[in-house]
Amino acid sequence: MNIEKIDHILKEHEYNHSAIISIMQDVQGIENYLPEDTLRYISEKLELKLTRIFDIATFYKTFSLTPRGRHTIRVCSGTACHLGGAVKNLEQIQRTINIQEGETTDDRMFSLETVNCLGACALAPVMVIDEDYYDAVNPGDIKKILSSYHSEPER
């Protein structure tokens, strides 16, 4: 845990209880997930019950209590993407890297998530890996797309 950075985030939000969601978003931004010791630290510093923090961490989809992979694959499951075959793409990804939605590969290379709608419906079906968008994806493209991340040097 980087206490200095966490303290900075808390200070920026003026130790405000109502800013807890933003605080957790910022913490996840630097830690890649929400480690338990960090949440305990925030709870003490803010004098905010740990149960409330965990309630928020488990209620909102964006938060993760487990470490995520180096690359996050987000498959859009909006209506237009669903119609365009998002499920088939998702299944092909699952077959290729052998994990289910919400899981991370053993080598911590990929985490797989679905997202309600990325608002890029005109490009359906869409998937995003980190910040890279892939539009009009079909199951036949998956292997090639994923393997390009394997050959990439660590970022």
61 binds other proteins (CB under 8 A): yes
CA dist list (Å): 151 to 35, 81, 109, 148, 154? 29, 28, 11, 6, 9
148 binds other proteins (CB under 8 A): no
Helix (H, G, I), strand (E, B) or coil at 64: coil
State residue 64 phi and psi, 5-degree precision: -130, 135
- Distance of closest approach, residue 71 Cβ to other proteins, in angstroms: 17
Helices and strands (H and E) in the chain: how many: 7, 4
- Binding marks (x or -) toward other proteins, 3..42, rule CB under 8 A? -------------xxxxxxx-xx-----------------
67 binds other proteins (CB under 8 A): no
**To 5 degrees, how large is the angle CA 30–CA 31–CA 35?**
145
- Distance of closest approach, residue 119 Cβ to other proteins, in angstroms: 4
* Footprint of other proteins (CB under 8 A): 16-22, 24-25, 52, 55-56, 59-63, 77-85, 88, 91-92, 95, 115-124, 126, 133, 135, 138-140
